[in-house]
A and B are shown apart, each in its own frame.
Chain A
Amino acid sequence: MPPSFALSAAGNVALAWGGVLFWLCLGFAALFLQRARGLNDLIFPLGALGALFMAGVGIAGVLGTPTAIVLPIGLPDLPFHLRLDPLSGFFLTLLGGAAFGVTLVAWGYFRSLESGPLALIALWYHLFLAGMATVLLADDAYAFMVAWEVMALSSYFLVTSAHDQPEIRRAGFLYLLIAHVGAVALLLCFGVLQGGAGDYTFNSMRLAETTPYWASVAYLLALFGFGAKAGLVPLHVWLPEAHPAAPSPVSALMSGVMLKTAIYGLLRVTFDLLNIQLAWWGTLALALGLISALYGVIFAAVQSDMKRLLAWSSIENIGVILAGFGLTLIFHTDGKGALAALALTATLYHALNHAFFKGLLFTGAGAVLHTTGERNMDKLGGLMRVMPWTAWLTLIGALAIAGLPPLNGFVSEWLLLQAFLFTPGLNQPYLNMLIPVATAAVALAAALAAYVMVKFFGVTFLGVTRSGVVAQAHEAGCRERIGMIWLAAGCVLLGLFPAQVIGWLAPVARQLTGHTLPNDGNWLLLAPLDAERASYAPLLFLAVVAATLLLVFVWVRRVYHGHVRHAAPWDCGYPEQDARMQDTAEGFGQPIRHIFSAFMGVEREEPDPFDRQPRHSSATLDQIWFFVYLPIARLSNWISAQFGRLQHGSIQWYLIYSFATLIFLLVFVTG
């Protein structure tokens, strides 16, 4: 590796740690200097610059050699080990790139807050960023868990920033609970990984020889722990609750970046820390990922709440990413290194894309929410005329997440499908038969994601205004617009220059799978394995699309326009058209609700025929909540109640407990 990429003497990792410290200083400066006027206009832009710096360090980290430092902080004899290798560098780039745009949006979004709450939000926000960055840099389990908890707690406080509302407190509690159940699993996982050596640095874990049995235990614990953070079905229930509760820039960060830290952790544990990988791990991850993807997208299709829809869509995307991860594992254990590199590249690419387009969509939804105060799409509509900037930028995000070329979503999904199509070469006959089904599932999820986005964009921004809230709506401020333009530009550029991005990703693929994609250096044409078999030229595609559009535009304007006849004799049955006649979010989701009714509980309330003010309502319920979570909650309540019986209030009984314990211990000692 060329040493020129090391930007400082101690290496890139020192620079990255400097960025973390910078964020920490900003957060505490916001807290202690909250009386200073105009502070908001200083803290958030500086935070955004820090994010940009982090992205730069991350890019250098991918290209450079791994660097590590040991920091003498924390408990005695337990210093923080930090390391920046290509994998960390990639995710650091993702963090910095998405956080730059989102922080600019946050700058405008939180402007109207009073100084006290604003200072707290600025503190938690920058702690959140610093925590996520430290998770990516940590090189021992202790530093990792500390950073992981900082990330979880600061995001909890961000989610519950409007804690005067009970449902937001409830959402925050659910988030905190699942985050901690996951953290416990991770703690156990690291306990297994250190293999009895008692040394919790990642370096010693890399050297530890684990048996297949214990490696599987560690992998399952990691899958559970990181799955809880990523929102893997059935651990996803906090996402649709926490995202609507959180302020929009926070949702954007949580969905775009924080979920990816879980993917990072899973990759780190599986490919880096464990010395063996087993084939069935990949099959399991693939199955869970596909279930998450389909489950998420189906539920996204039936939501009326913008942010809830986007949260479900995040579950879908995490599912796709996890399916890619599983496929990577399958290829890797099957000895197909180049294919594993392809699947891994697709997975990472999709993670990066998701950070950009989901950040863009959440900030777009946030701009709408900020100005209308309404999350329910059935009360919105026609916003494109009022807020054209937001609408067009959100459209770019929607097209990207729907997987349409020439935007970035298409590239990663195409790469992933390519990887799936190469599976017939596998040595496992059962997998060979099942993978086509999985391919179909991924394709179905991608198609339904497009459906979801048509619904999201169409109902919110197009059509006729549905309620009065839209009348007072105004365009998002210039700060939000700059942030969104950055994110949209990310979506476009990642879509137009995939060959460059994939070339940049090569060190990550080499680090994890030992192989890279054959990069033929053709910057125009993306051909993952073999140009004969499949290739994609985004710029060419863009040129054709643009040319077609121009041609149609000119045709309609110049040639056809003059022949339009204005007449309204019959109006096609719409003599009086009003807002209630257009398709609603509920109505748009109806076919999906009908087709997939087996997966979801639908609660309908039909009006009585004689009711003077008839009301019809229907709610879609997540069955997992009723079949998994409520029984567990009831069971733990029951167990607690049984233990509650121990409390008599009678001192005699308490003495008897001690007495029995004493006798038991004495017998135990002598026996």
Chain B
Amino acid sequence: MALTYHLQVVNLLAALLLLISFAMLSQRRIVNLVTLFAWQGAALSASTAIVAWSTGQHHLYWSAGLTLLLKVIVMPWFFYRLVRQLDVNRDVEAMLNIPTTMLIGIALVIFAFNLALPISQMSGTVTRSTLGIAMACVLLAFLMMITRRKAITQVIGFLAMENSLFFAATSATYGMPLVVEMGVALDVLVGVFVLGIFFFQIRETFDSLDLRHMEKLKER
């Protein structure tokens, strides 16, 4: 049956997404992180396209195209340029060491699957089983934001979280209305450019993109 075949591809792509999330969590170099982010976008785009094809939800094609354009081409290109200009392609210091982070990540994945179980039973979509993965990806991206000290990695973590949310929306409800998605995409794009400007400002003020310097900004 065609549906199950497509479903298996979607499941495969979902597993890939999770794998990429773990890879991002363990990655120390920013350029590689950007590459992984681009791959994540590609997987997301492909899975959205397959869902669109198998269920006949035509607006999902637009979403897939938009994801491909923004998250696989424009943003990674922008980040590569940014990394080159800011000259920050060194090891990213993590707050926790990588193995500990991975262990916490595994715990989060288990938690997310437990969480998604009752929800996906209620959902009526063909892709509902991937909801747990989507939630796990959200939590992992959050974890990445917490454990990294450089401003750029925070932004990539934030975008990865947005990717996962998008995936969650697709798998639970066949995506949000197109207008909302386009709005979100535009927001993300503008946000990234604004943050890019911020990076320069932060480096100018603190001579570094390390967020520890910003702790001086608190009261007292």
Query: Are B115 and A650 in contact, CB atoms less than 8 angstroms apart?
Result: no
Question: How far does the Cβ of B85 sit from chain A's closest Cβ, in whole Å?
Answer: 22
Q: Cβ of B145 < 8 Å from any Cβ of A?
A: yes
Give every chain A residue within 8 A of B154 (Cβ-Cβ): 651
Segment with Cβ contacts to A, from B16-24, B50-58, B69-77, B207-215: B207-215
Q: Cβ of B39 < 8 Å from any Cβ of A?
A: no
Q: Cβ of A655 < 8 Å from any Cβ of B?
A: yes
A649-B215 contact given A656-B146, A659-B142, A659-B146, CB 8 Å threshold:
yes
In residues 630-671 of chain A, which contact B (Cβ within 8 Å)?
644, 647-652, 655-656, 658-659, 662-663, 666-667, 670
Q: Determine which of B142, B149, B216 lies in contact with A662 in the assembled complex, contact meaning CB atoms within 8 Å.
A: B142
In residues 97-118 of chain B, which contact A (Cβ within 8 Å)?
111, 114-115, 118
Main secondary structure of the interface of B (DSSP, over half): helix
Q: Cβ of B217 < 8 Å from any Cβ of A?
A: yes
Query: Are B95 and A652 in contact, CB atoms less than 8 angstroms apart?
Result: yes
In residues 130-177 of chain B, which contact A (Cβ within 8 Å)?
139, 142-143, 145-147, 149, 154
Q: Determine which of A647, A652, A670 lies in contact with B146 in the assembled complex, contact meaning CB atoms within 8 Å.
A: A652
Query: Are A652 and B142 in contact, CB atoms less than 8 angstroms apart?
Result: no
Give every chain B residue within 8 A of A662 (Cβ-Cβ): 139, 142
Q: Cβ of B219 < 8 Å from any Cβ of A?
A: yes
Query: Are B143 and A659 in contact, CB atoms less than 8 angstroms apart?
Result: yes
Query: Are B211 and A651 in contact, CB atoms less than 8 angstroms apart?
Result: yes
Give every chain B residue within 8 A of A652 (Cβ-Cβ): 95, 146-147, 149, 211
Q: Which residue of A lies closest to B157 (CB)?
A: A655
Give every chain B residue within 8 A of A647 (Cβ-Cβ): 218-219
Query: Are B214 and A651 in contact, CB atoms less than 8 angstroms apart?
Result: yes
Q: Determine which of B111, B142, B149, B219 lies in contact with A644 in the assembled complex, contact meaning CB atoms within 8 Å.
A: B219
Give the size of the chain A interface in residues (CB under 8 angstroms): 16
A648-B215 contact given A663-B111, A670-B115, CB 8 Å threshold:
yes
In residues 38-73 of chain B, which contact A (Cβ within 8 Å)?
none
A666-B217 contact given A651-B154, A652-B95, A652-B149, CB 8 Å threshold:
no
Query: Are B216 and A649 in contact, CB atoms less than 8 angstroms apart?
Result: yes
Query: Are A649 and B214 in contact, CB atoms less than 8 angstroms apart?
Result: yes
A650-B143 contact given A663-B111, A666-B115, A670-B118, CB 8 Å threshold:
no
Q: Determine which of A644, A650, A666 lies in contact with B215 in the assembled complex, contact meaning CB atoms within 8 Å.
A: A650
Considering the chains assembled together, what is the distance between the CA atoms of A670 and B216 in angstroms?
39
What sequence of 0s and 1s flags, for each residue 179-220 of chain B, a beta carbon within 8 Å of any chain A beta carbon?
A: 000000000000000000000000000000001101111111
Give every chain B residue within 8 A of A655 (Cβ-Cβ): 142, 145-146
In residues 403-456 of chain A, which contact B (Cβ within 8 Å)?
none
Considering the chains assembled together, what is the distance between the CA atoms of A550 and B149 in angstroms?
96
Q: Determine which of B95, B115, B217 lies in contact with A649 in the assembled complex, contact meaning CB atoms within 8 Å.
A: B217
Q: Which residue of B lies closest to A656 (CB)?
A: B146
Q: Which residue of A lies closest to B108 (CB)?
A: A663
Interface centre among A647, A652, A658, A667 (most CB of B within 10 A): A652
Give every chain A residue within 8 A of B118 (Cβ-Cβ): 670
What sequence of 0s and 1s flags, for each residue 136-167 of chain A, a beta carbon within 8 Å of any chain B beta carbon?
A: 00000000000000000000000000000000
Question: How far does the Cβ of A85 sit from chain B's closest Cβ, in whole Å?
Answer: 53
Considering the chains assembled together, what is the distance between the CA atoms of A648 and B217 in angstroms?
9
Give every chain B residue within 8 A of A663 (Cβ-Cβ): 111, 139
Considering the chains assembled together, what is the distance between the CA atoms of A651 and B146 in angstroms?
8
Interface centre among A647, A651, A659 (most CB of B within 10 A): A651
Considering the chains assembled together, what is the distance between the CA atoms of A648 and B219 in angstroms?
9
Query: Are A649 and B218 in contact, CB atoms less than 8 angstroms apart?
Result: yes
Q: Which residue of A lies closest to B216 (CB)?
A: A649
A648-B218 contact given A659-B142, A663-B111, A670-B115, CB 8 Å threshold:
yes
Considering the chains assembled together, what is the distance between the CA atoms of A651 and B147 in angstroms?
10
Considering the chains assembled together, what is the distance between the CA atoms of A670 and B220 in angstroms?
40
Give every chain A residue within 8 A of B217 (Cβ-Cβ): 649
Considering the chains assembled together, what is the distance between the CA atoms of A666 and B118 in angstroms?
12
Give every chain A residue within 8 A of B147 (Cβ-Cβ): 652
Question: How far does the Cβ of B147 sit from chain A's closest Cβ, in whole Å?
Answer: 8
Considering the chains assembled together, what is the distance between the CA atoms of A662 and B139 in angstroms?
9
Q: Which residue of A lies closest to B142 (CB)?
A: A659
Considering the chains assembled together, what is the distance between the CA atoms of A644 and B95 in angstroms?
23
Considering the chains assembled together, what is the distance between the CA atoms of A649 and B214 in angstroms?
6
Considering the chains assembled together, what is the distance between the CA atoms of A649 and B217 in angstroms?
6
Considering the chains assembled together, what is the distance between the CA atoms of A656 and B219 in angstroms?
20
Give every chain B residue within 8 A of A650 (Cβ-Cβ): 211-212, 214-215
Question: How far does the Cβ of B157 sit from chain A's closest Cβ, in whole Å?
Answer: 9
Interface centre among B139, B215, B219 (most CB of A within 10 A): B215
Q: Which residue of B lies closest to A652 (CB)?
A: B146
Q: Which residue of A lies closest to B147 (CB)?
A: A652
Question: How far does the Cβ of B8 sit from chain A's closest Cβ, in whole Å?
Answer: 28
Q: Which residue of A lies closest to B148 (CB)?
A: A652
Question: How far does the Cβ of B41 sit from chain A's closest Cβ, in whole Å?
Answer: 22
Considering the chains assembled together, what is the distance between the CA atoms of A531 and B160 in angstroms?
92
Considering the chains assembled together, what is the distance between the CA atoms of A667 and B114 in angstroms?
10
Give every chain B residue within 8 A of A659 (Cβ-Cβ): 139, 142-143, 146
Give every chain A residue within 8 A of B145 (Cβ-Cβ): 655
Question: How far does the Cβ of A656 sit from chain B's closest Cβ, in whole Å?
Answer: 6
Interface centre among B95, B145, B149, B219 (most CB of A within 10 A): B145
Give every chain B residue within 8 A of A644 (Cβ-Cβ): 219-220
Question: How far does the Cβ of A638 sit from chain B's closest Cβ, in whole Å?
Answer: 15
Question: How far does the Cβ of B114 sit from chain A's closest Cβ, in whole Å?
Answer: 8
Give every chain A residue within 8 A of B115 (Cβ-Cβ): 666-667, 670
Considering the chains assembled together, what is the distance between the CA atoms of A658 and B142 in angstroms?
9
Q: Which residue of B lies closest to A650 (CB)?
A: B215
Question: How far does the Cβ of B5 sit from chain A's closest Cβ, in whole Å?
Answer: 32
Considering the chains assembled together, what is the distance between the CA atoms of A649 and B213 in angstroms?
9
Question: How far does the Cβ of B198 sit from chain A's closest Cβ, in whole Å?
Answer: 12
Considering the chains assembled together, what is the distance between the CA atoms of A650 and B214 in angstroms?
7
Question: How far does the Cβ of A316 sit from chain B's closest Cβ, in whole Å?
Answer: 44
Q: Which residue of B lies closest to A669 (CB)?
A: B115
Question: How far does the Cβ of A128 sit from chain B's closest Cβ, in whole Å?
Answer: 37
Give every chain A residue within 8 A of B146 (Cβ-Cβ): 652, 655-656, 659
Question: How far does the Cβ of B178 sit from chain A's closest Cβ, in whole Å?
Answer: 27
Considering the chains assembled together, what is the distance between the CA atoms of A644 and B219 in angstroms?
9
Q: Which residue of B lies closest to A662 (CB)?
A: B142
Give every chain B residue within 8 A of A666 (Cβ-Cβ): 111, 115
Question: How far does the Cβ of A404 sit from chain B's closest Cβ, in whole Å?
Answer: 59
Q: Which residue of A lies closest to B145 (CB)?
A: A655
Give every chain B residue within 8 A of A649 (Cβ-Cβ): 214-218
Give every chain B residue within 8 A of A651 (Cβ-Cβ): 154, 211, 214
Question: How far does the Cβ of B38 sit from chain A's closest Cβ, in whole Å?
Answer: 24
Question: How far does the Cβ of A76 sit from chain B's closest Cβ, in whole Å?
Answer: 30
Considering the chains assembled together, what is the distance between the CA atoms of A650 and B212 in angstroms?
6
Q: Which residue of A lies closest to B220 (CB)?
A: A644
Give every chain A residue within 8 A of B139 (Cβ-Cβ): 659, 662-663
In residues 87-137 of chain A, which contact B (Cβ within 8 Å)?
none
Considering the chains assembled together, what is the distance between the CA atoms of A130 and B78 in angstroms?
63
Question: How far does the Cβ of B141 sit from chain A's closest Cβ, in whole Å?
Answer: 11
Please list the 6 inter-chain residue pairs (A to B) with the smallest Cβ-Cβ separation, ordered nearest first.
Answer: A649-B218, A649-B215, A655-B146, A651-B211, A650-B215, A659-B142
| A interface residues with partner B (beta carbon < 8 Å) | 644, 647-652, 655-656, 658-659, 662-663, 666-667, 670
- 7 further A-B contacts with Cβ under 8 Å, apart from A656-B146, A659-B143, are A648-B215, A649-B214, A649-B216, A655-B142, A659-B146, A666-B111, A670-B115
Identify 6 residue pairs between A and B in the complex whose beta-carbon atoms are under 8 Å apart, listed by A's number: A648-B218, A650-B212, A651-B154, A659-B139, A666-B111, A670-B118
